[in-house]
Structure 1
Amino acid sequence: MSANDPAARLFPALYEGDEDAVVRLLRAEVSAEAVDEDGQSALYLAAVSDRPGIVRLLLAAGADPDRLSLGTDAPLCGAACGGHTEVVRALLSAGANPDTVEAFGFTALTWALRRGHTAVTEALLMAGAAPDRPGPGGEPPLVTAAHRGSVGCVRALLAHGAGARGEALAEARRLLGVGIEAELRERLARTHGPGHRSVTHRHPSPEGVTIEVQLLDARGRPFAGDDLQAGHTRIITLLKASTTRPGR
């Protein structure tokens, strides 16, 4: 892609959030389906960069909301993973399939639940995302949300009739028994090997506390990390109440 090609100027404007420049380029007949030098679509990059205004401009100019960037990455999934609620709503309003499947069997709902993004989860479910569609490993969405420790995601799924409540209850109880820090260290050890020093951080969140464990290199610098929300006790209460109702 030549530097003189108008399409080449679309991507700097996108990253800078320059909506006026994007409008000018689209009016100059730069395709809303343009891709960068690596083959990533403009819509996908705007979605993962949390640029809702630019997402709307590209959609209005004809970008396909369900087109997979590089044949693997769905704009809706990228926005859901990042917790970019306004982008998710823009894509859904433009007709994005709430159950679009990208590489390795991931859907937007799977990403939202794995990251504990309640507002995104609610938007997807309201748009018709299947509350019981299994994740890439066959896990029910409610189990994913219970593992994450997101009270809001569990509540949203229950409100939309999600099943596997007994399995989700068992998972929340398991996490409470094992301990979140121990679970995170074990997950990191499986990926990066045992024996690394680690540090734990507790971050306030709208739902309570998110616990993060980081692995440290020989100089004491973090090089990997993982986190979970700490809502398992409240989740157990919600799930116990739901499983004692008639028909559950």
Structure 2
Amino acid sequence: MSTQEPPELIAAVYDEDETAVLRLLRAGADPETADGEGETALYRAAVNGAAGIVRLLLQAGADPDRLSSGSDLPLCGAASWGHTEAVRALLAAGAAPDLAEEYGYRALIWAARGGHEADLRALLAAGADPDLPGPDGAPPLVAAARRGSPGCVRALLEHGARGRREALAEARRRLTVDIEADLRKGLETGTPGCAYITDRREDEPGTTTVEVTVVHRGLPAVGDSGQTGHRAIAALLEAETEAEAG
């Protein structure tokens, strides 16, 4: 590890202070610096979506595929939060698109689960396998259908993704689900005094993103989200399966 004030580099990354990061790297700070819990500067920058800092760390020699805290990949961190420019920067630096982090998650699964079409397309363009399953055994197409993102489903189909019948069954099943209630159930903490905040917005044309956040003692704790594009997905997959049968 470098002796050039690595804690200062970590602090600059946390603050998303690109100027300070550049100054510290030029002064000899180790781009592989990690904090006391093993979280690397590159991983934190990727999760924050600080693409400029991601590029600086990579140019200074940070390994795009180094595990942070022994378990987390920068590419997965960026893809899970929909930080497309950070995803592109990592891929351009040679990040392996199909590398798995702890529990078997890969960046493509994170993108599909989050409904991040631009990230998913960037990963597919970089050679990500459209069929590698997540830790639950479900392929990306099923994960995208469960999420309710027609854009992600369409991108995967364009790259020949398998599991179309399974994805169709999942989309049809989700048509009968109250998304907000389902998200709340999945976030139940059992802690007294928790409240829920629901936000609805249009992140993808033709669908509504429903985001539920648990609030404990006045502060946001955990959250999850889903989309309402299951009817469009079912129609899309029905057409695909009919074409296959024909």
> TM-score scaled to structure 1, two decimals?
0.88
Partner amino acid, structure 2, of 1:241? A
Partner amino acid, structure 1, of 2:235? T
Partner amino acid, structure 1, of 2:90? L
Distance 1:22 1:225 in 2: 30
Q: Unaligned regions of 5+ residues in structure 1, if any?
A: none
CA contact (8 A) 2:145 2:230 kept: yes
Alignment of 1:7-156 (within 5 A): 7-156=6-155
Mean CA deviation greater in 221-230 or 24-33: 221-230
Mean CA deviation greater in 48-57 or 173-182: 173-182
Q: Unaligned regions of 5+ residues in structure 2, if any?
A: none
Distance 1:239 1:97 in 2: 29
Partner amino acid, structure 1, of 2:100? V
In the other structure, the counterpart of 2:237 is: 239
Distance 2:218 2:20 in 1: 43
Distance 1:238 1:102 in 2: 31
Distance 1:116 1:33 in 2: 30
Aligned-residue sequence identity (percent) comes to 57
Deviation at 1:177, TM superposition (A): 1.8
In the other structure, the counterpart of 2:202 is: 204
CA contact (8 A) 1:17 1:54 kept: yes
- Cα distance, 1:177–1:123 mapped onto 2, change above 3 Å: same
In the other structure, the counterpart of 1:226 is: 224
Deviation at 1:243, TM superposition (A): 1.0
- Cα distance, 1:158–1:32 mapped onto 2, change above 3 Å: same
CA contact (8 A) 1:116 1:150 kept: yes
- Cα distance, 1:214–1:153 mapped onto 2, change above 3 Å: same
Distance 1:139 1:119 in 2: 21
CA RMSD of aligned residues (A): 2.6
Distance 1:52 1:15 in 2: 13
Distance 2:146 2:182 in 1: 10
Deviation at 1:220, TM superposition (A): 9.2
